[in-house]
């Protein structure tokens, strides 16, 4: 009985540690509400850590072009994302017209994109660290193919 | 004797806490400065606001190496300078008292260049078919930083950005035409409102 308890405790501890590790880079949140012609609501929340992991398993030949195009811009992207994590929250871009409102903000450790118009509302929230590690993965893939 | 010890202890604690507070105030990083660009089109009912922390701009700049921009420096074609000693010109403006230096009046355009309160000011008024007012106010320190390189035909954008982040709140550029209004300014607010 004591042994079973220890095993259960071990499994629970491992699961909690796993969940903690997976959620350590924050969560990606996507919320889409479509009002016309029919009402649709899509809400996805997923651990951000999964994205660079999934990127790692994408076949190199499928990413060849994307990686090649990305690579020259990596020093700039790296500098921007590193500094973005250091800065306080701010509104990067705000575009309004009579029908649409687009806002890109840095909130906490995340990049938040909100699009609102008559027919739909889109909210995407992605941790900056996840964007950084995913792009690094993509760039590394390019260097692996180049070698 | 015991009271004296207690008093000494209290004084020591007070001094330590005050010096700790002073140290934290002194060590606090300066507030983030933002470059704001706002474009409003009354005719189309559109508005675009872009806010860029100057610290990000300063970090990104040295990584961009394209065309004439290398390591935060822009090279100007010597033929474009047409033999003008820009540094000498700037030195003359810096040491001169506040004044209007250039006034050009044409049929449908007036251009004025002046120095006022440590700023270089350019006003352009177009009264032709496309009416347009352009006002540029650049702190002279920023202009100096821009031309602070050893080479005569190089602009040091990095140094200018750094100087801009040290300067106070400033309205840099406004452009107004029949429908559009463009503003570029620097302050410590994280949004354009």
Per residue in A20-70, pLDDT (tens digit) is 776 677 899 999 999 877 889 999 998 988 888 888 788 877 776 788 888
Q: How many domains does chain A have?
A: 1
Query: Which residue from A minimizes the CA distance to B71?
Result: A76
Q: Whole domain around residue A66: which residue ranges?
A: 26-146
% of chain A at pLDDT higher than 90: 45
Q: Is A72 on the interface with B (CB under 8 A)?
A: no
Same domain (yes/no): B6, B100: no
Asked whether the beta carbons of residue A79 and residue B51 sit closer than 8 angstroms, the reply is no
Asked whether the beta carbons of residue A92 and residue B51 sit closer than 8 angstroms, the reply is yes
Q: Is residue A13 part of a domain?
A: no
Q: Is residue A16 part of a domain?
A: no
Same domain (yes/no): B131, B153: yes
Q: Are B152 and B73 in contact (CB under 8 A)?
A: no
Q: Is residue A21 part of a domain?
A: no
- For residue B46, the model assigns a pLDDT of 94
Structure tokens at A127: 């941790």
Task: Give the confidence band of A134 by pLDDT, cuts at 50, 70, 90.
Answer: confident
Task: Give the confidence band of A147 by pLDDT, cuts at 50, 70, 90.
Answer: very low
Q: State the DSSP H helix or E strand holding residue A6, giving kind and residue range, or none if neither.
A: helix A2-22
B136 forms bridges with which residues in the sheet?
A: B122, B173
Same domain (yes/no): B85, B171: yes
Q: Is residue A7 part of a domain?
A: no
- For residue A34, the model assigns a pLDDT of 92
Residue A126 has pLDDT above 80, yes or no: yes
Q: Of B85 and B45, which is predicted with more confidence? A: B45
Same domain (yes/no): B106, B161: yes
Q: Is residue A4 part of a domain?
A: no
Q: Is residue B192 part of a domain?
A: no
Asked whether the beta carbons of residue B46 and residue A79 sit closer than 8 angstroms, the reply is no
B188 forms bridges with which residues in the sheet?
A: none
This model of the complex carries an ipTM of 0.76
Q: Which residues of B touch A80 (CB under 8 A)?
A: 56, 59-60
Per residue in A103-115, pLDDT (tens digit) is 999 999 999 999 9
Same domain (yes/no): B79, B151: yes
Same domain (yes/no): B60, B18: no
Instruction: Give the Cα separation of B69 and B72 in Å (integer).
Output: 6
Of A80, A83, A89, the CB nearest to B190: A89
Structure tokens at B59: 């970090």
Query: Which residue from A minimizes the CA distance to B42?
Result: A97
Of A82, A83, A94, the CB nearest to B49: A94
Query: Which residue from B minimizes the CA distance to A95?
Result: B48
Instruction: Give the Cα separation of A90 and B31 in Å (integer).
Output: 13
Q: Whole domain around residue B148: which residue ranges?
A: 31-187
Instruction: Give the Cα separation of B193 and B184 in Å (integer).
Output: 13
Instruction: Give the Cα separation of A133 and A126 in Å (integer).
Output: 12
Question: For residue A12, is it left (φ>0), alpha (ψ between -120 and 50) or beta?
Answer: alpha
Residue B111 has pLDDT above 80, yes or no: yes
Please state, as a whole number, how many other Cβ atoms lie within 10 Å of the Cβ of residue A101.
Answer: 14
Asked whether the beta carbons of residue A87 and residue B47 sit closer than 8 angstroms, the reply is no
Per residue in B112-162, pLDDT (tens digit) is 999 998 899 999 999 888 889 999 999 999 988 988 887 878 889 999 999
> Rounded to two decimals, what is the model's pTM?
0.77
Q: How many domains does chain B have?
A: 2
- For residue B168, the model assigns a pLDDT of 81
Q: Is residue B178 part of a domain?
A: yes
Q: Is residue B193 part of a domain?
A: no
Residue A133 has pLDDT above 70, yes or no: yes
Q: Is A87 on the interface with B (CB under 8 A)?
A: yes
Asked whether the beta carbons of residue A93 and residue B50 sit closer than 8 angstroms, the reply is yes
Q: Mean pLDDT, to the nearest integer, of B81-86?
A: 76
């Amino acid at each position: 009985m004591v042994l079973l308890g220890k095993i259960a405790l071990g499994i629970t501890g491992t699961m909690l540690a796993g969940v903690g590790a997976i959620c350590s880079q924050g969560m990606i949140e996507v919320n889409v509400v479509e009002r016309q012609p029919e009402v649709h609501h899509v809400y996805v929340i997923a651990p951000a850590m999964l994205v660079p992991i999934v990127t790692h398993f994408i076949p190199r030949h499928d990413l060849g072009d994307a990686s090649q195009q990305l690579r020259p811009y990596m020093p700039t992207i790296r500098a921007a994302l590193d500094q973005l994590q250091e800065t306080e929250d701010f509104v990067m871009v705000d575009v309004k017209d009579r029908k649409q409102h687009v806002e890109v903000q840095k909130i906490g450790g995340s990049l938040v994109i909100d699009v609102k118009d008559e027919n739909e509302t889109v909210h995407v929230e992605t941790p900056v660290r996840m964007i950084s590690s995913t792009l690094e993965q993509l760039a590394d893939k390019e260097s692996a193919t180049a070698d | 004797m015991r009271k004296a010890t207690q008093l000494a202890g209290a004084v020591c604690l007070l001094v330590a806490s005050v010096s700790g507070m002073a140290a934290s105030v002194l060590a606090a990083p300066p507030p983030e400065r933002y470059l704001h660009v706002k474009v409003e089109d009354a005719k189309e009912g559109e508005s675009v606001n872009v806010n860029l922390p100057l610290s990000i701009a300063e970090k990104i700049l040295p990584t961009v190496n394209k065309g004439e921009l290398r390591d935060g420096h822009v090279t100007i074609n010597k033929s474009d300078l047409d033999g003008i000693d820009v540094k000498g010109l700037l030195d003359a403006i810096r040491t001169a008292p506040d004044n209007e230096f250039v006034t050009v009046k044409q049929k449908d355009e007036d251009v004025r260049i002046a120095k006022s309160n440590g700023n270089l000011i350019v006003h352009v008024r177009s009264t032709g078919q496309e009416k347009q007012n352009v006002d540029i106010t650049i702190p002279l320190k920023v202009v100096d930083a821009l031309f602070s390189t050893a080479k005569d035909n190089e602009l040091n954008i990095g140094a200018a950005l750094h100087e801009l982040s040290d300067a106070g709140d400033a309205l840099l550029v406004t452009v107004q035409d029949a429908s559009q209004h463009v503003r570029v300014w620097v302050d410590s607010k994280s949004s354009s409102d």
